Amino acid sequence: MISRDTFWQFFRFGIVGGIGFCMDAALLYLGINVLGLGRITAALFSFPPTVTVTWIGNRLFTFRHAPRVQASKQLAKFATVCAIGLIFNRGTYALLVSTVPLVYQYPILGLLGGTCAGMFFNFFAAKRHVFAA
């Protein structure tokens, strides 16, 4: 059973993640429709800015009571956690967009699947390794 504090942190993490998802989707479609990138390349293009925005949100909102450490070091740790989570997130996205015609047509569905696949790993890894007390 998870603690009450962990539950509320996960809830706030989800709010930040929702904001990140909107940014990720906007950048994904910018990459596909404006820059002419392929669906998988566009998903990789959208990832770094989304990681940065979600780190800021998690630092200021989700884990606001965590000890303050140097921002650049914390961002590097968060990016590392997200890069590992990328296996779940973008791996699921790539699998779905490559094998399901509906998802190829509407890549936001793959993005949603990938986000869900990576969410639990990213939360617990960030809680333990990035924002730990």
What's the CA gap between 8 and 5, in Å, rounded?
Answer: 5
Angle between helices 4-29 and 39-57 (to 10 degrees): 140
Angle between helices 4-29 and 107-129 (to 10 degrees): 140
Q: Provide the number of structural domains found in the chain.
A: 1
**Per-residue pLDDT tens listing for the chain (133 residues):** 889 999 999 999 999 999 999 999 999 999 999 999 999 999 999 999 999 999 999 999 999 999 999 999 999 999 999 999 999 999 999 999 999 999 999 999 999 999 999 999 999 999 999 998 6
Residues spanned by the domain of 53: 4-129
Query: What is the pTM for the complete model shown?
Result: 0.91
Other beta carbons less than 10 A from residue 119's beta carbon: 18
